[in-house]
Structure 1
Amino acid sequence: MKKWLVGLLTVGMFFSLAACKTSETKETKTTDSISSFSEAVKKGKGETVTFYGYGGDEKANAWVDEVVTPAMKEKYDITVKRVPMDIDQILNKLTTEKEAGAKSGDIDVIWINGENFYTAKQAKLLYGPITNKVDSFEKLMDTKGHHSTYDFGVKIDGFEVPYGSAQLVFAGDKEKFKAGFPTDTKALLAYAKANPGKITYTAPPEFTGSAFVRNIICDIVGYDKVEQAKANKQELYKVIKPGLDYLNEIKPYLWQEGKTYPTTTAELDQMFAAGQIDLSYSYAQMHVAEKRSDNEFKATTESFLFDKGTIANQSYLAIADTSKVKAAALVLINEMTSESAQLKKAEAQYGYSIPPFDSEKLSKESNQKLADIYKNQGVLSLEEMQEKQIPEVQAEKIPIIEALWKEHVLHE
């Protein structure tokens, strides 16, 4: 069964936040009685709901402002206030409020995933379960699929709704790769040796660079071994050492001989566009299409994956436990994950995002519309991307792998 279940976005820094008890608030008692989406619609009418998330993506911001916000007002008489804030700041704010015994706060809907979801769930910062109260989840998504059940190996338990999909995708100019793109670690090393200084990657803990390192490790030692390894430094090092050894082997042939690394993917893209390096990458599967349409990448730039696959994940929407308008928050999540809104988000002007939907639950017309949007854009087919996916490594192992890279590669 073909699905678009691929697991954005944004994985922030890992924070160990202590769980703490607070007295149950009046708001929680009231909104916990919400039993259905229709009830949430009635209770949310006339409210103002906030959406907190990364604000650095102008196209995603425009989508919220131009598509979601007007729809919420017109359909439900609910006002949306978008608040740009990095996820680490959001979690710190929620934790501070909870530790202070705050009965309610200003944060309602949160854009979250991965390590940050693990942290928020452990610290009991989220309201839920919510998936049974969001119509779009049941109507449009694979409710039993991996990304509806696990987020970076952490059980979701209904506390977040899939929002957007992401997969590590490489970008290269086919004119420079006459013999074909390097679709495994062996070919990548050979290309680096033949073209010194033309390959590099962003330094972990930058989240895409961290994914690149994990992908190299999984390509060499196998995802299963990484997944089964114990989440402690000593045991994990034994398992991933061949991958770290590879990164040390390729290091002298990297840009600046691996003595320094780009710090952001924006910097990586700029270097690629300027011809300083021959390879870029992104967690956004439509990255090449977007960059080509913006005339930042050459028309000969195309996407490719490793033959064994690349890391895929999903971003999600959740509700803060201290939200005082949980009904309106449920309605907002439903609208942001609705078929109409997500089909608009898939358009070029809003970033070519791939919806988190089960294609078999969509109409033939919607499936065709999405296929037409992505056609001839230098990107891979949805089917090929799904066939070449590696699940994300468990959240608790990611900071350990980053620390081992720093110790055994960066400072080697």
Structure 2
Amino acid sequence: MRFSVLTLLALGFASPALADWSHTLAEAKGQTVYWNAWGGDARTNGFIAWASGETERLYGVKIEQVKLSDTAEAVSRVLSEKAAGQDAGGSVDMIWINGPNFLAMKDQGLLHGPFVADLPNAKYLDLGAASPASVDFTVPVEGMESPWRLAKFVFAYDSARVSYMPDTMAGFVEWAAKHKGRMTHPDPSNFMGATFLKQALIELAPEPGALQQPVTEEAFAAQTAPLWAWYDALRPNLWREGESFPENQSVQNQMLNDGEVDVSMSFDPASTAAGIADGSLPETARVWVPKAGSIGNISFVAIPYNAAHAAGAEVVANFLLEPATQAHMQDISVLGSFSVLDAGKLDEAGRAGFAALPSAPALPALADLGPTLLEPHASWMERLTAEWAKRYTK
């Protein structure tokens, strides 16, 4: 039996009528929350539109998605408002944010909060100090941003053309030599290409623990030396001999679908099944991760310090943590994003909502994805992509 979102909400997942929360709900009613979020994925945009309908129906709070091509656009807007002395009534109410952008806003005092512990649905989260819900690219969250979806780096490959995948990132050197020109990665100026390099760096670094600390020149030289040796061996056997790269994941997915390459990559384990369903990937596409696991992180939402509709933004953040919302989000026909909730904190109805979700041949179970590897400190990504560009672009 499938449980709809509305059924699960009716079974008791609406926000508890706590005194402080009741005040927040009253203040939020009638507000429109301007959620600044990357607009490059149609399924995510559709989910946000659905969420707007639900929050308006349940709480009188509308969501207006401000579609970004880069999260830094919203950060710059908040910075400009602060510089102009606009400490209230800001134009950005909520941001889908991670890593360097969160660190920049936190360091510059641009965030509202801490607020996460005040959300009624925070009871479903593991907020321990070492939990992925409490750390963003090694930076402690400290209640200044709220989880909403799980991301995990995976590869997609066409099983009709590829008989095996390597067990490790190091194994791609031999694999690419045997499948010359059939592998590439997005340009590292795009976060997907940068993640490909980070995945290899975590495996190849002599001291992976060093990646959890802010980068230094000495550490960078020592930890990346094996990476560049690996990449030098890999590059000649890449598509177009590593002289050019697809702009982003979407372009590489199209190349996989057209048979131009055999491998693509994603930060969404369900994207391969979704791509098969919508015809953008071949039916024989499947998901692979290295045996040692892959980089994973939680996507968060943050509220700027000067948000005009902070109460409404808190209501939206809380709605995103409803077990019913998380189950709806994980539905492969909707978004397919794995839940950020701690399954051990759910009651029977909450667990039933997830158990009833549909499956697909290319949809991995969480256990199939292996261990989640922590992102390096945010400072490593900028240094890594700059060095790659210096070495491999003309």
Q: Same fold by TM-score, threshold 0.5 exceeded?
A: yes
> Shift of the alpha carbon at 1:228?
5.5
> Shift of the alpha carbon at 1:363?
3.3
Structure 1, 280-289 or 400-409: larger mean CA deviation: 400-409
Identity within the alignment, %: 24
- Say which of 246, 258, 274 aligns to 1:290: 274
- Aligned AA for 1:196? K
Is the CA contact 1:218–1:226 (under 8 Å) kept in the aligned structure 2? Answer: no
Equivalent runs, 1:213-232 vs 2, <5 Å: 213-221=197-205, 224-227=208-211, 231-232=215-216
- Aligned AA for 1:96? S
> Shift of the alpha carbon at 1:374?
5.5
Q: Deviations over 1:160-216 (max 9, x none)?
A: 0111110110111222222x2222134321121112101111111210110100111
Q: 1:230 to 1:334 in 2, by over 3 A?
A: closer
Q: Deviations over 1:265-316 (max 9, x none)?
A: 1111111111111111100111111111112222221101011111111110
- The match for 1:151 is 136
- The match for 1:389 is 372
Structure 1, 348-357 or 212-221: larger mean CA deviation: 348-357
- Aligned AA for 2:66? V
Equivalent runs, 1:353-372 vs 2, <5 Å: 353-372=337-356
**SS of 1:83 mapped into structure 2:** strand
> Shift of the alpha carbon at 1:35?
8.4
- Say which of 341, 350, 359 aligns to 2:334: 350
Is the CA contact 1:48–1:81 (under 8 Å) kept in the aligned structure 2? Answer: yes
- Say which of 152, 157, 161 aligns to 2:146: 161
- The match for 1:408 is 391
- The match for 1:50 is 34
Q: 1:372 to 1:278 in 2, by over 3 A?
A: farther
Equivalent runs, 1:244-323 vs 2, <5 Å: 244-323=228-307
Is the CA contact 1:288–1:377 (under 8 Å) kept in the aligned structure 2? Answer: no
- Aligned AA for 2:161? K
Equivalent runs, 1:14-29 vs 2, <5 Å: none
Structure 1, 369-378 or 327-336: larger mean CA deviation: 369-378
**SS of 1:107 mapped into structure 2:** coil
Scaled by the length of structure 1, the TM-score of the pair is: 0.86
- The match for 2:60 is 77
> Shift of the alpha carbon at 1:227?
1.9
- Say which of 113, 124, 139 aligns to 2:109: 124
**SS of 1:36 mapped into structure 2:** helix
> Shift of the alpha carbon at 1:410?
4.1
Equivalent runs, 1:85-234 vs 2, <5 Å: 85=68, 86-103=70-87, 104-138=89-123, 140-144=124-128, 145-178=130-163, 180-221=164-205, 224-227=208-211, 231-234=215-218
- The match for 2:5 is none
Q: Deviations over 1:357-400 (max 9, x none)?
A: 11112234543543553533313211232x32110000112101
> Shift of the alpha carbon at 1:65?
1.7
> Shift of the alpha carbon at 1:230?
5.5
**SS of 1:281 mapped into structure 2:** strand
> Shift of the alpha carbon at 1:249?
0.6
Q: Deviations over 1:21-55 (max 9, x none)?
A: xxxxxxxxxxxxx9832321122222222211112
- Aligned AA for 2:376? V
Q: Distance in 1 between matches of 2:99 and 2:328?
A: 26
> Shift of the alpha carbon at 1:243?
1.0
Q: 1:244 to 1:371 in 2, by over 3 A?
A: farther
Q: Give the paired residue count.
A: 374
- Aligned AA for 1:396? S
Q: 1:192 to 1:128 in 2, by over 3 A?
A: same
Q: Distance in 2 between matches of 1:151 and 1:401?
A: 18
Q: Distance in 2 between matches of 1:191 and 1:372?
A: 38
Q: Distance in 2 between matches of 1:298 and 1:372?
A: 26
Scaled by the length of structure 2, the TM-score of the pair is: 0.89
- The match for 2:15 is none
- Aligned AA for 2:365? S
**Structure 2: runs of 5+ lacking an equivalent:** 1-17
